[in-house]
Structure 1
Amino acid sequence: MAPNSKLNAKRKAQREGTQPAKPKKPEKRLANGAKGPGISYIPIELQQLLLNIFRNSFAERMSADITPLLQEVKGHLYKRDFATAFGKKEYLEAYAARWSPSRALGYLDLMWELRDELWVDEEDEEEDQEAKTEQTKPKNRKIVCLGGGAGAEIVTLGGLQKLMSTTYSQDGEDVDGPRGHVEITAIDIADWSVVVENLAKQLTVPAELSKYASAAARAANVPPLNPEDVTVRFKQQDVLSASAEELSSQLADANLVTLLFTLNELYTASLPLTQKFLLLMTSILQPGALLLVVDSPGSYSSVTLNGAEKKYPMQWLLDHTLLKQASGNLNERGKEEIVRWEKIKEDDSRWYRLDERLRYPIELENMRMQVHLYRKL
């Protein structure tokens, strides 16, 4: 049979269904409008803007070869010598420049997906539609980031504030909360004050431009947020040794508390003290307050019972403390108290993948995380 005859016979067989058609090549996954695990729907311009905040904050540190410094930090972290790893300014800046940017983008991708849970209060949901359309005063929100000294959470929340405001203003809607003032408090055992101050400043000032920048570039160079939109504070404190009074002063009026890649480190430091802290936090937080926990998938912590050591998944320990232990007390009538937390979101393994179009002076990595979101009842 001639070559063309073979080709025609093959095509005829495909049309008649007697031979499977050649499979199509998979579509290339892009950040905007694409489908797939870990693909972000955050506008690429905003993602790049947040990376620029880190780039501008640590420009001097990254102007020289930062690799030896990062290797030193990684070595101390591998040995779990956190006091040394976070004991010098240059180590803190190197860590924040290298690991916080991708986490900030990953957190923003997560929080944008959870925006209805994180930014809409229960009383807002109960209002009728007519009341929702009325002009109302924007609400202020207080967010406490435990272990947030490296600054990823700060940049994330600044980005979320900008994204919420931009999105809803484009839709012609007025929404309680997103345009209000956001007060962010980062609490950490190490002194991250310089890092926090640098990042907070970059949220509310225009980026420094080259003297050769065009007039159009200068006109478009506006700060991500207005100074009245956000307040950022840092508190150096070990939450495991903090008194009830100290914690209450920080957490009593918080709308959201985050433990992002922090809880497993607390469990490693002391499981009993961490459980005590979680129960104390439960007693302090107001009803409706949210607790967002993010950590490495498959994180385990060791518990010693009757002299034998056993490992438990971090999420099991967390659920046991918040959903069982926190509600297992009996009241004065001998009846068990109602559950004081409800879990409203859980994801054992969530990906965030960096868009190839993003630009940053040093290499960044994709991230994978487990996610747990609780609401205080």
Structure 2
Amino acid sequence: MAPRSAAAKLAKRNKIKKTANPPKRSDAPQRPAGTEVSAKIPLELQQLLLNVFRNAFPSRFGSDLKPLLQEVKQHLYNRDFLTAFGKAEYLEAYAVRWSPSRALGYLQIFNDLEQHFPAIEEPGSRDPGSPWRVVCLGGGAGAEIVGLAGLLRQLTRKETPSESTQDTAMSAPTQPLFEISVIDIANWTPVVTSLQSAITTAPTLSQYASTAAKESNAELLSPHLFKTTSLQQDVLTMPAEDLSAQLHNADLITLMFTLNELYSSSLAKTQAFLMRLTSILQHGSLLLVVDSPGSYSTFTLNGAEKQYPMHWLLDHTLLSVPKDARSNKEAPKWEKVHSDESRWFRLPDGLKYPIDLENMRYQIHLYRRLP
């Protein structure tokens, strides 16, 4: 789905006529709006992720990029997503323009939330050789894929004080494996394939590259550690059995700048989709929702009479227990383990990329499926 900065900010929303009373806050840990308490991501790693996009689409940075982006923006402004994502050159232009900044922001998010991902590294938490499975809903443009590649790169390069970098990279039997599935309404498979190749293949060097550059040239990740697949489907109309086949064994589901668009498309269908998601996912599965903060994510219910924040609708669907269920002493099906209504990811100085990159403001909510 199109990021809010590229689509919804271009299309003016209906003016808010009446706002619902502020909902009660979740019990999940909250930080004051706009605060940032994040571990620093090495600049070198962030540059490597930007290089993935450059290496995946080397011919897309020519003089035709700007007019292509203008065409894509116009289609997004008109909310004509089928046209905006209907041509290969549009998809590549979109990926090189908007996904790199998002990928770095997502890496920061994944890094900050790693404490909630014990299944990645926890000994005995999964069978040897079993991958950590992530399904990215609306993630065809590749930001989630590259961000997760950055997380895995960090995990495989962890050091201890007493050992050298080379010796302390995780041994092969204990290295985590990532299996990433992307489900999107557009056919992003060529883009996903190109990014996968750029992540798992050493970059092509100039014939004039130095000996040192040639000796240090290597892929970001080994191919056996990081695998991706792409599926073109509308999750709101996807048959239940197909949705279950894709999601039932997922460790993490992501909705990154996608849920707001789903709600805008159909509130009823999105609520129904979240209920199906709840019935499919296994105990311990995580749902990560990232979207534009505050008033950028409000929705009209009952005509234009009231507006509800996106996170309130989400909490209402996932955390509430219906009255008839409460009478049967049914427990909630989800717990909210992390929440922040407004955060910034700010790009560090020193990064190199052919076109401008942008800081990212977002809200974030992480839920865990209960037994």
TM interval, shorter chain, is: 0.7 to 0.9
TM-score (norm 2): 0.83
Alignment of 1:73-92 (within 5 A): 73-92=72-91
TM-score (norm 1): 0.81
The alignment status of 1:219 with 2:212, answered yes or no, reads no
**Greater RCO, CA 8 A, separation 6+:** 2
Equivalent residue for 1:321? 317
8 Å Cα contact 1:150/1:192 also seen in 2: yes
- Aligned in 2, Cα 1:76/1:149: closer, same or farther, shift over 3 Å? same
Structure 2 SS opposite 1:228 = coil
- Aligned in 2, Cα 1:39/1:116: closer, same or farther, shift over 3 Å? closer
**Aligned partner letter, 1:118:** F
How far apart are residue 63 of structure 1 and its match?
2.6
User: What is the alpha-carbon distance in structure 2 between the residues aligned to residue 360 and residue 157 of structure 1?
Assistant: 20
* Unaligned 5+ runs, structure 1: 1-35
The alignment status of 1:356 with 2:352, answered yes or no, reads no
User: What is the alpha-carbon distance in structure 2 between the residues aligned to residue 268 and residue 175 of structure 1?
Assistant: 46
8 Å Cα contact 1:257/1:292 also seen in 2: yes
Alignment of 1:1-377 (within 5 A): 37=36, 41-120=40-119, 124=122, 137=128, 139-168=130-159, 172=168, 179-298=175-294, 299-305=296-302, 309-324=305-320, 327-328=321-322, 330=324, 334-377=327-370
8 Å Cα contact 1:271/1:303 also seen in 2: no
User: What is the alpha-carbon distance in structure 1 between the residues aligned to residue 42 and residue 89 of structure 2?
Assistant: 32
Range with bigger deviation, 57-66 or 154-163:
57-66
- Aligned in 2, Cα 1:276/1:204: closer, same or farther, shift over 3 Å? same
User: What is the alpha-carbon distance in structure 2 between the residues aligned to residue 249 and residue 99 of structure 1?
Assistant: 30
RMSD: 2.6
Task: Summarize deviations over 1:250-290 as a string: whole Å, max 9, x none.
Answer: 00000000000000000011000000000000000000000
Amino-acid identity (%)? 53
**Aligned partner letter, 1:358:** L
- Aligned in 2, Cα 1:360/1:174: closer, same or farther, shift over 3 Å? closer
User: What is the alpha-carbon distance in structure 1 between the residues aligned to residue 293 and residue 271 of structure 2?
Assistant: 20
The number of residues matched between the two structures is 329
Range with bigger deviation, 246-255 or 174-183:
174-183
- Aligned in 2, Cα 1:173/1:138: closer, same or farther, shift over 3 Å? farther
8 Å Cα contact 2:299/2:310 also seen in 1: no
Task: Summarize deviations over 1:17-40 as a string: whole Å, max 9, x none.
Answer: xxxxxxxxxxxxxxxxxxx84876
Structure number with the higher helix fraction is: 1
How far apart are residue 80 of structure 1 and its match?
1.7
